[in-house]
Chain A
Amino acid sequence: MTPNELSLQLAGLRPRLLRFARLQLRDDGAAEDAVQEALLAAVENARNFEGASAAATWVFAILKNKLIDEFRRRGRTPVVAADDEVALEILLEEQFDARGHWREPPPAWSDPAASLEQTRFWEVFEACISGLAERPARVFGMRELLGMETEEICKELGISASNCWVLLHRARLGLRDCLSRRWFGEN
């Protein structure tokens, strides 16, 4: 493919990559830069691609690495005690009594799989992820949205495995709580 052909083909992918990067980075400027760099790298390598779909997979992998670089860079900047993360922990602790049993057992969701077909569900899902404290949201995104293994995430972020599990546990229970209130509660 020529660089021009590829640019045209990838133009359609751009908004989706941007949405993904924004959700992960929570910073529009940084998301824009990461997507721009990934697309540029693809166009510079245009001649190596047989078709647009191979290029799309490649761009996505490049973008993923850019996001990880950004996480790593942020990871080195000193982290002030994040109030929102403490708030999330309190929210979780409050669900259990002193012996660690449910104060009010969470009700099951009926037919959650059907939600995956609804566009509106994804808006709520993204809003709930954006509403999580930054570190749990980041680890959840790497694990469940990027599909990375925990070992790889720990390595990239320079945190211990048990720290990683704690963050994932908080993120998942926080998301469960948010979806119960904002999606499954109203259906």
Chain B
Amino acid sequence: MLSCKDSTELISQGMDRRLSLSERMGLRLHLLICRGCRATEQQLGFLHDAGAAWRQHHDLPSTQQGDSK
């Protein structure tokens, strides 16, 4: 079973690379039983959205490679 610390690493990395099948399954299982990690998943996802919204807030054009994810 993954620890919460490992889970937060996978949540973060899942935003930057494609996780393997076993990593995804391990993470999903852990999230089912862990409220703190579910909150972390929501919050890190929010930070990702906030970056794009930040550019918009300051009315900055996005770069070409930007927002490809």
Q: Do A and B come from one complex?
A: yes
Residues of A at the B interface (CB closer than 8 Å) are: 16-17, 19-20, 53, 56-57, 60-61, 64, 96, 99-102, 104-109, 112-113, 116, 122, 125, 143-150, 152, 161, 164-165, 168-169, 172-173, 175-176, 179-180
Are B3 and A125 neighbours in the complex by a CB distance under 8 Å? no
Residues of B within 8 A of A116 (CB): 49-50, 53, 57
Residues of A within 8 A of B53 (CB): 116
Q: How far is the CA of A56 from the CA of B34 in the complex (A)?
A: 45
The listed residue with most B CB atoms (<10 A of its CB), out of A64, A102, A176, is A102
Q: How far is the CB of A158 from chain B (nearest CB, A)?
A: 18
The answer, among A60, A101, A145, for a CB contact under 8 Å with B61, is A60
> What are 5 A-to-B residue pairs whose CB atoms are below 8 Å?
A16-B58, A116-B49, A152-B65, A165-B16, A165-B17
Are B65 and A148 neighbours in the complex by a CB distance under 8 Å? yes
Q: How far is the CA of A89 from the CA of B54 in the complex (A)?
A: 26
Are B46 and A113 neighbours in the complex by a CB distance under 8 Å? yes
Contact string against A for B residues 1-35, beta-carbon threshold 8 Å, 1 for contact and 0 otherwise? 00111101100110111000000000000000011
Are A169 and B51 neighbours in the complex by a CB distance under 8 Å? no
Are A147 and B51 neighbours in the complex by a CB distance under 8 Å? yes
Given A96-B3, A146-B66, A147-B67, A105 contacting B48 (CB threshold 8 A)? no
Residues of A within 8 A of B47 (CB): 144, 172, 175-176
Residue of B nearest to A104 (CB): B36
Q: How far is the CA of A143 from the CA of B37 in the complex (A)?
A: 22
